[in-house]
Structure 1
Amino acid sequence: MDPQQPTARSLQTRINNDITQLLQRFENIMAAATVENTSHTATAIETYQLDVESTALIRAAEDILALTRTMKETWLFGKLDTLGEDERDVKRREKLEQDVAVVKEAIEKGSVLKLEK
């Protein structure tokens, strides 16, 4: 695999990190918005905090959009193995292919009974 191509595992990690960031920023905004304080200093601090958190929330959303673009490009143009067959899947697929070959051979030899209406 090309070293520039992301793996399924790295994409999954990035998805989890981006979602965590998005949720954390939203929670921070909600926590700051519910504080009831009438002092001008506290209000200014809360306003600044909301500004910072909303900017970070927008950045987290942009990261998710960039991730979806990367995933689309990788699936369309890359060789991302999202199926990741393990040994059991390989054996199952091979057995299925053998069964198909046996049925095909039986049909070709005419040893399968034909039902007539």
Structure 2
Amino acid sequence: MNPSAVRTTSALLDEINNRRDDLIKHFSTIIQLASQNKPDRIAAVNLQLQMQVETSFLISKAERLQELVRTMQECWLYGPLDTMGNSEIKQQTDAEADKVLKLLQQLSEKQQ
């Protein structure tokens, strides 16, 4: 995910869901492999190799999820992820800030 790219809420949710599904898929595969009982040595070695591969996939998918969290934090702090938008709350906050500014200006004028 490119932090400079503008992301919408639906795109972020899709990305979160995809990465979550990847984690669940690899974790489920590891659980399935762990529940198998292989009596001969070759099958056990093969099973061990499969579990190592799935474990490395699981780790890489968890790292990708951490990257997404980091990217979202960067977007919230520095960039294009606008969590408030032009919502009613933002408009109300701006109006109240203007009132406070006017009151402070009046107070400043009276003190001079």
Q: Structure 1 residue runs of 4+, over 6 Å off? A: none
Unaligned 5+ runs, structure 1? 101-117
User: Structure 2 matches for 1:103-114, cutoff 5 A?
Assistant: none
- 2:15 paired residue number: 14
SS of the equivalent of 1:5 reads: coil
Partners of 2:23 and 2:61 within 8 A in 1: yes
TM-superposed CA distance for 1:82, in Å, is: 3.3
CA distance in 2 between counterparts of 1:46 and 1:67 reads 32
CA distance in 1 between counterparts of 2:5 and 2:57 reads 27
Counterpart residue identity of residue 58, structure 1: I
Partners of 1:25 and 1:56 within 8 A in 2: yes
1:14-51 alpha-carbon deviations (Å, 9 max, x no partner): 10011111111111001000101111121111011101
CA distance in 1 between counterparts of 2:32 and 2:48 reads 12
The count of corresponding residues between Structure 1 and Structure 2 is 92
Select the structure of larger CA radius of gyration. 1
Cα RMSD (Å) of the superposition? 2.5
- 1:49 paired residue number: 50
Identity level (%): 32
Unaligned 5+ runs, structure 2? 97-112
TM-superposed CA distance for 1:83, in Å, is: 4.6
CA distance in 1 between counterparts of 2:39 and 2:53 reads 21
CA distance in 2 between counterparts of 1:12 and 1:26 reads 21
Is 1:26–2:18 an aligned residue pair? no
Q: Which has the higher helix share?
A: 2
- 2:110 paired residue number: none
